[in-house]
């Protein structure tokens, strides 16, 4: 074979390899068509409604067609196991630990690490003026029995948090024997607290974060309740769950889901319009337009459904 022919053959082979490599990369980026309909589940808690709306908006910007089903925790777990649901952003630990643990042990669903939310909490709280006046710990509550009218405000009957408060009263823990647990809906409790703050009256109540109460009212969480609500003010974390094969079946969509991180401040703010009956998708879009920096980390290494860079596509979708 002549030198020119050999060079030509080598050149053609090189082009063929490059083309094949590029084609393989594109094929890998494009995923299976079934991945386009990312199926979320919303367990009906406002914070999960809000974060699911955020994720869905980003997926839409990438060219996906996300769908959300509202279902209870047990049904959501069964849906993930049966692969009828792809993603849940709502595994609250430790509240749901007993329900989720058997699925994790059987490897029938997958829990992503690290959590999508850290620093959540739930414990007793008071308005700022009470805290400044000395009611700073669980042990201080009984000292102010008269100002508090001997009442502790909880949420709906049957809740685990109310059971913890009632047990403190029944066992005279922290000297709370004789106090009365006032049970009400979340909305009813918050109205009572808002009214007390307006009138500068004393009140102690169950507070938690994320929730708009943390930005609507000046409140402080009481220390010293680790034995009742758990350490670090009843600390909780929220994890993302997926069906067992989602990350391998849909690697690009899985990368975005894995990248998602939220903060309590983000959720405090986003939950507010959602609780005021604004469409979650509209609230999510408005939030992302005001906070586009979130997209940088979420979309790192993420492509559109047709293999293009994800970040500019989502920004264009949002009109940024």
Q: Quickly state the pLDDT bin for 204 (edges 50, 70, 90).
A: very high
SS (H, E, C) 81-126: HCCCCCEEEEEEECCCHHHHHHHHHCCCCEECCCCCEEEEEEEEEE
What are the structure tokens assigned to 275, written together? Answer: 């609780």
What is the largest distance, in Å, between two alpha-carbon atoms of the chain? 105
At 70-125, the pLDDT tens digits run 999 999 999 999 999 999 999 999 989 999 999 999 999 999 999 999 999 999 99
Would you say residue 275 has pLDDT above 90? yes
Report the mean per-residue pLDDT for the chain.
91
The domains of the chain, with CATH numbers, are 30-109+243-318 (3.40.190.10), 128-233 (3.40.190.100)
Residue 238's beta-bridge partner residues? 92, 117
At 111-165, the pLDDT tens digits run 999 999 999 999 999 999 999 999 999 999 999 999 999 999 999 998 889 999 9
What percent of the chain has a predicted confidence (pLDDT) above 90? 86
Q: Which residue has the tokens 């955020």?
A: 54
Q: What angle do CA 297, 302, 303 make, to 5 degrees?
A: 145
Would you say residue 304 has pLDDT above 70? yes
Minimal CA–CA distance to 137: which of 197, 229, 225?
A: 225
Minimal CA–CA distance to 180: which of 145, 147, 156?
A: 145
């Amino acid at each position: 074979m002549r030198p020119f022919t050999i060079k030509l053959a080598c050149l053609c082979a090189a082009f063929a390899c490059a083309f094949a490599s590029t084609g393989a990369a594109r094929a890998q980026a494009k995923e299976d068509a079934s991945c386009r309909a990312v199926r979320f589940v919303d367990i009906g808690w406002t914070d999960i409604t809000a974060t699911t709306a955020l994720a869905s908006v980003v997926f839409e910007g990438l060219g996906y067609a996300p769908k959300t089903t509202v279902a209870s925790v047990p049904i959501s777990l069964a849906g993930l196991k049966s692969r009828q649901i792809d993603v849940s952003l709502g595994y609250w630990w430790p509240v749901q630990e007993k329900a989720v643990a058997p699925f994790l042990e059987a490897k029938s669903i997958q829990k992503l690490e690290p959590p999508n939310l850290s620093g959540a909490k739930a414990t007793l709280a008071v308005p700022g003026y009470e805290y400044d006046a000395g009611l700073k710990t669980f042990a201080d509550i009984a000292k102010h029995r008269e100002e508090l009218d001997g009442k502790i405000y909880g949420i709906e009957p049957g809740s685990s948090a109310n059971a913890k408060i009632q047990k403190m009263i029944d066992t005279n823990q922290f000297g709370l024997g004789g106090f009365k647990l006032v049970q009400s809906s979340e909305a009813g409790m918050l109205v009572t607290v808002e009214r007390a703050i307006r009138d500068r009256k004393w009140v102690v109540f169950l507070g938690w974060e994320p929730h708009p109460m943390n930005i609507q009212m000046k409140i402080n969480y009481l220390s010293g309740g680790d034995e009742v609500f758990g350490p670090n003010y009843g600390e909780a974390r929220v994890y993302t769950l997926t069906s067992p094969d989602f990350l391998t079946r849909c690697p690009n969509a899985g990368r975005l889901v894995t990248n998602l991180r939220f903060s309590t401040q983000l959720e405090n703010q986003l939950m507010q319009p959602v609780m005021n009956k604004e469409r979650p998708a509209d609230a999510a879009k408005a939030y992302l337009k005001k906070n586009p920096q979130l997209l940088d980390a979420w979309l790192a290494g993420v492509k559109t459904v047709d293999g293009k860079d994800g970040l500019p596509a989502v920004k264009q979708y949002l009109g940024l």
